[in-house]
Structure 1
């Protein structure tokens, strides 16, 4: 039986059954958390790292299937086993069709339960050496679940699309996937698809022969060939010109690349990971991104949360970055004051982890004492936030902050929130969808 590092969450509104099952599983070596309702379980998932949820089906406040649905929104792929004293074929069919891992009837057969737990936990990424993701510092359940998914997908060669705002660490996650994969000993090569003009980007990716274009005084193998046997990371793939999207699609489909100026195809063996901050489905609607290419790249989708969504990581990250920066520049700087850390925790971090890195670097550089004070952090934050965003970035940030505030004020009541915003419900729901907000997250 798999026990090591296995954290189970039990959910049941019957306290005696919850206690009994919890004691039984604890005695088998599992680490067990318990929740007396669906909403309580969802809060627990934010606080704790959970490997498997075992829930009763019939509960007053939120039944087991509704809880499963919310868990999949919060942590996609989390295995859930449903228990019920009202077992029936329709219930079991409905549960399994929705993706529930197992469905058992009460009184639960001990061997059947342990077998279901073993099978569910066997689908996790293998435990062991964590050096593959040493550059990612986190204790956030959202990030830990993301890393578990990343490690699982690393074992295969499927294409991965990483979504996330600028500064969240998309390239670092791509490097971690490469490091956890069988290709780890081969090259990891990254290129920003939005940073180069079209002809230069084409040459960089596919290579060129001597004389293929003006200035091509020698041949170049290209990054697909340079990454042979390893991983090619295509950052900001959403900014790739349409003409190049067609050529990239052909390379992915045929596993062959033809350098510019050549009439010969060359075989390639490369794993592709791509990333973007853009909403590619919207870009496809506008005919700015090819649908067939999207489905080739988006075999597995991983979304990195913003720093605002993982605030519990800020002290951990800040101290880690402080130590790194102090070792490089000023070893006398040791720590943040309590007020300085509170200031870091309460900042909005529109630039995510990249902005936090810059703030820490500035604080260390300007500190004249072993302890970084509140005023120095405030100065660094003002300096970081003084950079003028684009109109679109400023509008989007304002909309997001406004929607969060109005949902907090109305405690997630969409009708009331739409009325306060001067919008009808349909328009308001569209705004929430655009900013990926769920009104139920703001309900008490």
Structure 2
């Protein structure tokens, strides 16, 4: 029902002076209609959208309660109020029970109290109307919401499908993806190892979304450098008042993940004392919130990850052997990015596409030289570092093609002809005579400087302290290509 901009109120009283007084009092806040009989009031209700009816109790022919009973049957969304100079308890009880009146007001009435009561009544009607509309909308849109949720689930499954993990045809990840695909459907714990930034969470999500638990929650907790008390609260939950700052009950991640998967990142960082608590949860498959005596059963799959070698930690006594075997029913070891250099061009282009969309800064891609340099770097920060470098290059770019001059100098200094370049600290490990070693370093410094100055020989020669003729001679000597 569409109500007027100002709340509309119908006043019903057989006394003209009472109606005039009511109209003068209410006119500033409401759109006021008046009726001297219930018959006239019914006609007004049939012709108008009315939010509240204020009716006298003692009227000829039909009492206010009897009239409001009829109003309730025909216009149940309208607020109903009685205004009477009599306080008969039977009338009040009948009005409450049968007419469902909002309030029973007595004469003489106070203007402010009457205004406030009617404002509350009209506000209640508006809220009820909004609630009914939302309920109707929810009923109508439930299939749409279900379709949207299912579509999101399908997109997640597709995003974390093994075929969507970027890798070349001869990538070291191919065998690993086959192994993950074989393990995913089985409800066993998996330990994912590998250096920081190598994509351990990506594979954990792939395990979840290709398992029988794919429709249930996937929750993540980074266990590194977190105090035991806070980690216990996050994973197991706590009761209100269990410790300072626990102002309400908190459901832990193990309970939130019930039916699904919990991913415990950096599991090798937890303390020996917490290892005991976690082992008990995994053995008994139930949790007890901090400060609570009740134990709650859980049904979760545990995937853990670490950049440590837990076998060595176990041998050194820093990690419990029984917990290790609980977590590592299957172990997946991810290679560092430098061990899969053939995947770098694919990853760099994918990261660039995402950055272009995120920053709304379209470009044409990388130059061949830029991809060569990116592929020749060792990437100690692995995939995460590569992604950050690509985003930085896009932000700094002024041309449609991202050239090698945009690459950070530390990356350039490690790139010669697509191979990791020698560093000063590694000179002793270079092969050849002293002259040959010096030439390797000189070639690297020349190329890095030229790239950084976008092959502007004047600026490069000034930085290197060479004449243009001397720089040109060295370029020819080392066969440095400017293309």
Normalising to structure 2: TM-score of the pair? 0.52
- The residue that corresponds to 2:203 in the other structure is 173
Runs of 4+ deviating beyond 2 Å: 128-136, 378-384
Deviations, residues 72-95 of structure 1 (Å, cap 9, x unaligned): xxxxxxxxxxxxxxxxxxxxxxxx
**Paired position in structure 2 for 1:42:** none
Aligned to 2:386: 356
Partner Cα distance (2:196, 2:171) in 1 = 21
| Equivalent position SS for 2:277 | helix
Residue 224 of structure 1 is matched in structure 2 by: 254
Q: Does 1:266 align with 2:300?
A: no
**Cα offset, 1:332, TM superposition:** 2.5
Structure 2 Cα separation of the partners of residues 132 and 322 of structure 1: 21
Match of 1:308 in 2: 338
Is the Cα contact below 8 Å between 1:359 and 1:381 reproduced in 2?
A: no
Aligned to 1:152, which of 168, 182, 192? 182
Distance in 1 (alpha carbons) for counterparts of 2:273 and 2:231: 11
CA deviation map 1:90-115 (0-9, x unaligned): xxxxxxxxxxxxxxxxxxxxxxxxxx
Residue 280 of structure 2, aligned match among 237, 250, 255? 250
The C-alpha deviation readout for 1:95-147, integer Å capped at 9, x for no partner, is xxxxxxxxxxxxxxxxxxxxxxxxxxxxxxxxx97852476211243201111
Which residue is equivalent to 1:370? Answer: 400
* Structure 1: unaligned runs, 5 residues or longer: 1-127, 385-397, 411-444
Matched, 1:137 2:174: no
Q: Measure the CA separation in 2 of the matches of 1:174 and 1:373.
A: 35
SS in structure 2 at match of 1:287: coil
Answer yes or no: is the 8 Å Cα contact 2:373–2:412 preserved in 1.
no
Unaligned 5+ segments in structure 2 are 1-156, 415-421, 433-483
Contact 1:321 1:360 in 2 (8 A): yes
CA distance in 2, matches of 1:129, 1:359: 27
Sort the Cα spacing of 1:246 and 1:358 in 2 relative to 1 into closer, same or farther, 3 A: same
Q: What is the CA–CA distance in structure 1 between the aligned matches of 2:212 and 2:188, rounded to whole Å?
A: 13
- The offset of 1:201, in angstroms, is 0.4
User: CA 1:306 to 1:368, structure 2 compared with 1: closer, same or farther past 3 Å?
Assistant: same
Q: Provide the residue aligned with 2:263 in structure 1.
A: 233
| TM-superposed deviation, 1:409 | 6.3
CA distance in 2, matches of 1:317, 1:296: 34
Could you tell me how far apart the structure 1 residues matched to 2:174 and 2:403 are? 31
Deviations 1:356-392 (A, max 9, x none): 00000000011011100111014484799xxxxxxxx
Q: What does residue 186 of structure 1 align with?
A: 216
Secondary structure of the residue that 1:274 maps to in structure 2?
strand
Q: Which residue of 2 aligns with 1:340?
A: 370
Q: Are the structure 2 counterparts of residues 130 and 351 from structure 1 closer, same or farther at C-alpha, using a change threshold of 3 Å?
A: closer
Measured in 2, the distance between the counterparts of 1:129 and 1:362 equals 28
The equivalent residue for 2:315 is 285
Maintained 8 Å contact 1:159/1:296: yes
Q: CA–CA distance in 1 between the matches of 2:320 and 2:173?
A: 30
Partner of 1:94: none
Give per-residue Cα distances to partners, 1:19-56, cap 9 Å, x unaligned.
xxxxxxxxxxxxxxxxxxxxxxxxxxxxxxxxxxxxxx
* Partner secondary structure for residue 363 of structure 1: helix
Q: Structure 2: how far apart are the matches of 1:171 and 1:131?
A: 11
Asked whether the 8 Å contact 1:135–1:172 carries over to 2, the reply is no
The CA distance in 2 between the partners of 1:305 and 1:144, in whole Å, is 11
2: distance between equivalents of 1:321 and 1:207?
A: 37
Determine the C-alpha separation between the residues in 1 that align with 2:304 and 2:164: 19
Q: 1:357 & 1:309 partners in 2: Cα distance?
A: 17
CA distance, structure 1, for counterparts of residue 267 and residue 413 of structure 2: 30
Matches within 5 A, 1:107-146: 132-133=161-162, 136-139=165-168, 140-146=170-176
Matched, 1:212 2:254: no
Deviations 1:205-257 (A, max 9, x none): 11111111121111111000000111000000000111111011111111111
Contact 2:216 2:260 in 1 (8 A): yes
- Deviations 1:6-29 (CA, angstroms, capped at 9, x unpaired): xxxxxxxxxxxxxxxxxxxxxxxx
Q: CA deviation at 1:304?
A: 0.5
Tell me the distance in 2 between the aligned counterparts of 1:201 and 1:146.
31
How many Å separate the matches in 2 of 1:131 and 1:278?
25
Give the superposition deviation at 1:286: 2.2
Q: Report the aligned-residue RMSD.
A: 2.7
Q: CA deviation at 1:196?
A: 1.9
Q: Distance in 1 between matches of 2:289 and 2:412?
A: 48
When residues 321 and 218 of structure 1 are mapped into structure 2, their CA distance, relative to the original with a 3 A threshold, is: same
TM-score by length of 1: 0.56
